[in-house]
Structure 1
Amino acid sequence: MVTLMGINPLAVLVVAIISIVLGFLWYGPLFGKQWKRLMKFSEKDTKKVKVRKKSYLFMILGSLITSFVLAYMVIKFSANSFLLAADLGFTMWLGFIAPVMLGSVLWEGKPWSLYFLNVSFQLINLIVMAVVLSAW
């Protein structure tokens, strides 16, 4: 098996795909209507978003980077069980995602409900990613 710094590239790719699928489900069938309403997207805006191929490419790249860094952290902190990996995902979320995303409420005027919708996704996403990586 080929590795980079002890990281399995296939695991990184699979976990990035899982992250993208989770995002599709979260911001699509599960909470898409609420998200669009909270973002104040009109039907016209929604159609524009659907054709932004460049945005999707950047999100895929972002998911790959997150997956790689999280894989590194799983190895570095020996998060080799479900609980240790879930704890790592939670800790990364608590320390880096939740506080940084507060800026959208504090400085951009976004509603708290949008903040909670977005950070909830990030929490679930990071925990799932870390758990899958730990099982690899």
Structure 2
Amino acid sequence: MPDQPSVLFVCVHNAGRSQMAAGFLTALSGGRVEVRSAGSVPADRINPVARDAMAEVGIDISDQQPKILTTDAVRASDVVITMGCGDTCPVFPGKRYEDWKLDDPAGQGIEAVRPIRDEIRVRVTSLLAELLPV
């Protein structure tokens, strides 16, 4: 893996799970990991409940916009984490792929989104320990 590893988080709308994961990895890595997120069918805006759930833990994702998944983004990433995007994510040899099974926060209230957020934080923390061992 290069000096600065690169991670791409992908979900369908790039409005909830992948944005929360990108927010955590950006904050927890302190700029030591290049972070991308994208969606196979991006929404118009970030899920406001996901945004509020992240604000509760001190991470501001309100300036983010959902982005379309491109083969260039996959090609430029060392690790690709999918979250319910099915077969829409292009697969390239030599890339590390993981599929994180997580509930979709779309249409759910803050009480339902908090446990999703917390599970994402646990997974991102574990990923970060693998990418940047002490």
The structure whose RCO (Cα within 8 Å, separation 6+) is larger is 1
TM above 0.5, one fold? Answer: no
TM superposition score normalised by structure 1: 0.31
